[in-house]
């Protein structure tokens, strides 16, 4: 595995040259979303086992945070054995640094609201710029909160024995706010009232899926959820493969001559990003679905397409790379919430213009006119792992020269083996420092 140190005094660049073909077999990394949720659920139970967890900077931030709140997590033969707190937060370290993990920030904020001892939650510069006021406002009935105008660092502690609470929260900023509340709901008994249309709903479905594995009864209401007070049961849970990460292999395979199989992918799980399979097939790529793998070959002529991406925000960057080579104008809409990711991904997608792509960015949509002839360039990825991979995908079609993409260290957030896997398939890419 590749592990990159963040916040270095020098930049790490992903360098990419034209790649003529991709061929071989790789395995999708374990799901980042499922790993985060399995950690929280296991922490709140007594003793659980997480099989095949994703080991990345983001998931390690959640692991460390869970340990700070009282869990003991041991590694055994690649699995995590979690000795949990059985529903009672027991603060071991009262300052929690979530590094660059927005998921950790949001999930741990709600957990800290159950702590009798004040906990400070902080993170890197990017985290301190990501809004969390909507979640904090929802938690104010449960906890005393000190924050910097809705941003980290946050200091938070429980107000006392409070049960059967009702919290109103918007659903159009981040589905992680809803997931965060759901995860603590069994501890107190909680009604969650969602006041605006829920975006990225499949991520909430993942949360519910893991909670139900731990025996939690969740009732869907007309405008949200109700969870009665109850205890998490122990789980023995294998983390499935990650479609969000696999998309960064599948997408370039659609427009580069390819014969690639990705193992550890099941169409039966709750991940919304498995929709990438249908999208690539619809635009002309050739895909074969097996029980636990996906095989892809490139299409001869890719079609343009209109996509509502309200539920699949993490697919937007890799799909932009695909539509660079589709015939006609493609539209990706309902993506205003991309502004609240690791960076403002709407603005970040303007970097495709440096590659020669005809792309227009609106407040909640992206238009891409294709096909485009790609030229090499020096690109910014704004410390966003998904932007690094999406720009690299398009850069593999540059007619000459080397494309250099900064923020290569961010690959460790979700896909530590990205470079290794792409090189194994034949991609001409490497890391440079400077």
Q: Which residues are catalytic?
A: 314
Secondary structure class of 44 (helix, strand, coil): helix
CB burial of residue 48 (10 Å; 0-12, 13-18, 19+): buried
Helix axes 243-255, 418-425, angle to 10 degrees: 30
64 backbone dihedrals φ, ψ, rounded to 5°: -65, -40
Q: How far is CA 74 from CA 13, 45, 110, in A?
A: 34, 15, 24
Query: φ and ψ at 383, to 5 degrees?
Result: 55, 35
Side-chain-facing half-sphere of 185: CA atoms under 13 Å: 27
- List, in order, residues 6 or more apart from 325 with CB less than 8 Å away: 255, 302, 370, 371, 372, 397
Grouping H, G, I as helix, E, B as strand and the rest as coil, residue 402 is coil
**If you ran DSSP here, which 8-state letter would residue 119 be given?**
E
Q: At 66, is the secondary structure helix, strand, or coil?
A: helix
- 150 and 128 Cβ atoms separated by less than 8 Å: no
Residue 184, Cβ neighbours under 10 Å: how many? 23
CA distances (Å), 82 to each of 32, 52, 113, 320, in order? 17, 13, 21, 39
Alpha-helical regions (H) of 189-258: 201-213, 243-255
- Asked whether the beta carbons of 317 and 386 are under 8 A apart, the reply is yes
């Amino acid at each position: 595995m590749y592990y990159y140190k963040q916040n270095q005094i020098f930049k790490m660049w992903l360098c990419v040259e034209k790649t003529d073909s991709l061929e071989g077999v790789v395995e999708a990394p374990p799901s980042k979303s499922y790993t985060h949720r399995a950690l929280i659920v296991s922490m709140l139970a007594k003793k659980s086992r997480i099989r095949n967890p994703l080991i990345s900077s983001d998931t390690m931030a959640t692991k460390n945070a869970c340990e700070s709140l009282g869990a003991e997590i041991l590694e055994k033969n690649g699995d995590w054995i979690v000795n949990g707190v059985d529903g009672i937060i027991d603060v071991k370290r009262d300052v929690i640094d979530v590094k660059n993990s927005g998921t950790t920030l949001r999930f741990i904020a709600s957990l800290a609201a159950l702590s009798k001892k004040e906990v400070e939650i902080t993170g890197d510069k990017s985290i301190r710029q990501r809004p969390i006021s909507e979640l904090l406002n929802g938690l104010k009935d449960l906890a005393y909160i000190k924050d910097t105008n809705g941003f980290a660092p946050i200091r938070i502690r429980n107000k006392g024995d409070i049960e059967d609470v009702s919290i109103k929260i918007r659903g159009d900023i981040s589905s992680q706010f809803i997931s965060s509340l759901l995860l603590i709901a069994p501890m107190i008994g909680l009604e969650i009232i969602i006041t605006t249309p829920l975006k990225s709903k499949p991520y909430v479905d993942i949360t519910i899926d893991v909670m139900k594995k731990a025996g939690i009864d969740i009732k869907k209401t007309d405008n949200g959820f109700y969870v009665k007070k109850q205890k998490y049961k122990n789980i023995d849970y294998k983390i499935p493969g990650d479609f969000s990460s696999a998309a960064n292999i599948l997408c370039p395979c659609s427009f580069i001559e390819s014969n690639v199989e990705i193992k550890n992918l099941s169409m039966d799980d709750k991940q919304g990003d498995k929709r990438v399979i249908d999208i690539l097939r619809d635009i002309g790529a050739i895909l074969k679905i097996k029980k636990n793998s996906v095989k892809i070959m490139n299409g001869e002529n890719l079609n343009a397409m209109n996509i509502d991406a309200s539920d699949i925000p993490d697919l937007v960057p890799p799909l932009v790379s695909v539509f660079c080579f589709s015939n006609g104008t493609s539209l990706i809409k309902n993506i205003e919430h991309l502004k609240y990711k690791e960076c403002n991904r709407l603005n970040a997608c303007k970097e495709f213009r440096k590659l020669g792509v005809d792309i227009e960015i609106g407040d909640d949509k992206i238009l891409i006119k294709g096909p485009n002839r790609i030229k090499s360039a020096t690109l910014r990825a704004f410390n966003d792992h998904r932007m690094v991979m999406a720009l690299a995908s398009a850069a593999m079609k540059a007619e000459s020269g080397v494309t250099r993409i900064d923020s290569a260290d961010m690959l460790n957030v979700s896909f530590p083996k990205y470079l290794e896997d792409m090189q194994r398939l034949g991609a001409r890419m490497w890391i440079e420092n400077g």
